[in-house]
Amino acid sequence: MLDLKEQIIAQLNLQDIKPEDIGDDQPLFVEGLGLDSIDALELIVLLQQQYKIKLSNAEDGPKVFKTVRTMAEYITAHQAQNV
Amino acid sequence: MYIRATGNISPQKTFGHQPLVDAVAYTGNRLACIEPDYKEFIDPKLIRRMSRIIRMGVAAAMECLQEADIKVPDAIVTGTAYGCLEDTNSFLSKMVEFNEELLTPTAFIQSTHNTIGAQIGLMLQCNNYNNAFVHRGFSFESALLDGILLLKENDASNVLVGAIDEITNTSHTIINRLGLYKQGEVSNLDVYKTKTKGTIAGEGAAFFLLAAEPSATNYAKLDGLHTFYKPDNIAEVEKQIVSFLNRHSVSMNDIDLIFTGKNGDAVSDKIYDDLAETVFENKETVNYKHLCGEYPTAASFAMWLAAISIKTGQLPAIFDSASNKKINKVLIYNHYLSIHHSLTLLSAC
């Protein structure tokens, strides 16, 4: 999850934020890290670029991008499917 | 109309309304803006999406509005020739790198020429008139003209007008290849002595709060603006200058100081040299592009210099002028690549 946090920081250019500042279960959007809809698009691109995972159903977005942990679980599940 | 406030980020120490005393020297054919700590002016959450030119533009605009003590202007008008080049470069590079797939949205969204005006509007929650002009060497002048018209037609009582252009590694390389910049060792402080082809690259973000009504804190009165395109010869340039002054009932004797856009290029500077022997003969002329470099909206730097010179009544110490005569009326004559020519007339309030 540390790698994923680093990738999120780099992709979203989250200045002055370190991986340890982002809790595994901290909400990424609104009240948590304060991300918005443009960031959601950036995270979709991150999944495709880094993990070759395409978010096929847009309605899954809120669930997948809820926290770093939900993202990591989604990545793990889809990477297993791709093997 | 009046210039009530200014904000300027340039290759000199112009931000923060400090007196302009010592010129910052650069070696090489590229001058880069001296940037402030943006966190004082821009929410850190917003900064992360802003490229360098957007930060510069927004910070200069915020400084200008702070000085004017205006939270929301009646209009925001910007001029830029290059737009947000760094974002454009990033977006296009990723298109190539990822074979036109997996494009990140931020660089694309931020790459448009109206990004800075839009960002200022968003930050201020200003839904008023917001326009951006992209007319190469007339970009700043077009924005200024729009601001003037808004005030003259009573569509606004104050207008934030600004000019923004950046030089990036990619654009510098391309323009350098086109032969616009000097080659070899060159210092900006000696650029007028070189007598060789080419100039030095510059960039900047300058904003002005124009107001219809006078106030005790105004910098200067903006009396006139005129642009002309590709004059046939020097005689036409002279005719344009004389006719511009006549239209404003001003003679050359009334002008205390002329800012000219000389940039060290032996070819295009000939126009200024010729004028020095005719219409500008015996007038105090001051060059400014050794301070900001050459870029399509450099006339905005000259207008900032003219405004502060009129406000204080004298040239900033950086020019080391021997004249003690109070500066009341200033003419700015600038041309970009001998194509886009502009005249601006300012006077004391």
Note whether A12 contacts B104, CB cutoff 8 Å: no
User: H or E element: which one contains A73?
Assistant: helix A68-82
Q: List the single residue in B with minimal CA-CA distance to A45.
A: B102
**Angle CA B186–B24–B7, to nearest 5:** 125
Please report residues of B whose CB lies closer than 8 A to that of A42: 104-106
The whole-number pLDDT of residue B321 equals 80
> CB-side exposure of B220: number of CA atoms within 13 Å?
27
Of B44, B103, B104, the CB nearest to A15: B44
B39 touches chain A (CB under 8 A): no
Q: List the single residue in A with minimal CA-CA distance to B47.
A: A15
The whole-number pLDDT of residue A82 equals 66
Long-range contacts of B183-189, Cβ-Cβ distance < 8 Å, separation of 24 or more: B183/B29, B185/B27, B185/B28, B186/B27, B186/B28, B186/B29, B186/B264, B187/B25, B187/B26, B187/B27, B188/B11, B188/B23, B188/B25, B188/B26, B188/B31, B188/B290, B188/B291, B188/B293, B189/B23, B189/B25, B189/B290
What phi and psi, each to the nearest 5 degrees, are found at residue B113? -70, -20
Helices B299-312, B139-152: axis angle to 10 degrees equals: 50
**Angle CA B227–B131–B296, to nearest 5:** 40
The end-to-end CA distance of chain A, in Å, is 20
The residue ranges of every structural domain in chain A are 2-82
Please report residues of A whose CB lies closer than 8 A to that of B91: none
Q: Are strands B2-9 and B204-211 parallel, antiparallel or unpaired?
A: antiparallel
Note whether A49 contacts B49, CB cutoff 8 Å: no
DSSP 8-state code for residue B245: H
Please report residues of A whose CB lies closer than 8 A to that of B98: 49
CATH of A2-82 given 3.20.20.70, 3.40.1400.10, 3.40.50.800, 1.10.1200.10: 1.10.1200.10
Note whether A11 contacts B104, CB cutoff 8 Å: yes
Note whether B106 contacts A42, CB cutoff 8 Å: yes
| Distance of residue A51 Cα from the nearest chain B Cα, in angstroms | 12
Q: Are strands B129-133 and B75-79 parallel, antiparallel or unpaired?
A: parallel
Tokens of B121: 């509007």
CA B97 to chain centre: 35
CATH topology agreement for domains B2-211 and B220-347? yes
Note whether A45 contacts B102, CB cutoff 8 Å: yes
| Distance of residue B40 Cα from the nearest chain A Cα, in angstroms | 15
User: H or E element: which one contains A11?
Assistant: helix A2-12
Please report residues of B whose CB lies closer than 8 A to that of A15: 44, 47-48
Class of the CATH domain delimited by B220-347: alpha beta
Q: What distances in angstroms separate CA A65 from CA A29, A59, A62, B67, B138, one per listed residue? A: 8, 11, 5, 43, 46
pLDDT tens sequence for chain B (349 residues): 999 999 999 999 999 998 999 999 999 999 999 999 998 888 887 898 899 999 999 999 999 999 999 999 999 999 999 999 999 999 899 899 888 887 888 888 899 999 999 999 999 999 999 999 999 999 999 999 999 999 999 999 999 999 999 999 999 999 999 999 999 889 999 999 998 999 999 999 999 999 999 998 999 999 999 999 999 999 999 999 999 999 999 999 999 999 999 999 999 999 999 999 999 999 999 999 999 999 999 999 999 999 999 999 999 999 988 778 899 999 999 999 999 999 999 999 9
Quickly tell me which residue has 């210039």 as its tokens. Answer: B3
Note whether B102 contacts A49, CB cutoff 8 Å: yes
Q: List the single residue in A with minimal CA-CA distance to B99.
A: A49
| pLDDT of A81 strictly over 80 | no
Contact B64, B6 (CB under 8 A): yes
The whole-number pLDDT of residue A83 equals 60
Q: Looking at chain B, list the stretches that DSSP marks H as alpha helix, in order from N- to C-terminal side.
A: 44-47, 52-68, 85-97, 105-110, 115-124, 139-152, 169-177, 234-247, 270-276, 289-292, 299-312
Residue A31 and residue A29: Cα distance in Å, rounded? 6
- Closest alpha carbon to B333 in B113, B79, B316, B278: B278
Note whether A15 contacts B102, CB cutoff 8 Å: no
Which residue, among A49, A50, A51, A53, would best test binding to B if mutated, counting the most B CBs under 10 Å from its CB?
A: A49
| pLDDT of A7 strictly over 70 | yes
Q: Which CATH architecture describes the domain B2-211?
A: 3-Layer(aba) Sandwich (3.40)
The residue ranges of every structural domain in chain B are 2-211, 220-347
Interface residues on A facing B, Cβ-Cβ cutoff 8 A? 11-16, 34, 38, 41-42, 45, 48-49
What phi and psi, each to the nearest 5 degrees, are found at residue B64? -65, -45
What amino acid is encoded at B298 in this protein? A
Task: Give the largest CA-CA distance in chain B.
Answer: 63
Three-class SS state of B230: coil
The whole-number pLDDT of residue B233 equals 96
What amino acid is encoded at B149 in this protein? L
**Angle CA B306–B311–B315, to nearest 5:** 55
Residue B175 and residue B183: Cα distance in Å, rounded? 12
Confidence of residue A56 (pLDDT cuts 50, 70, 90): confident
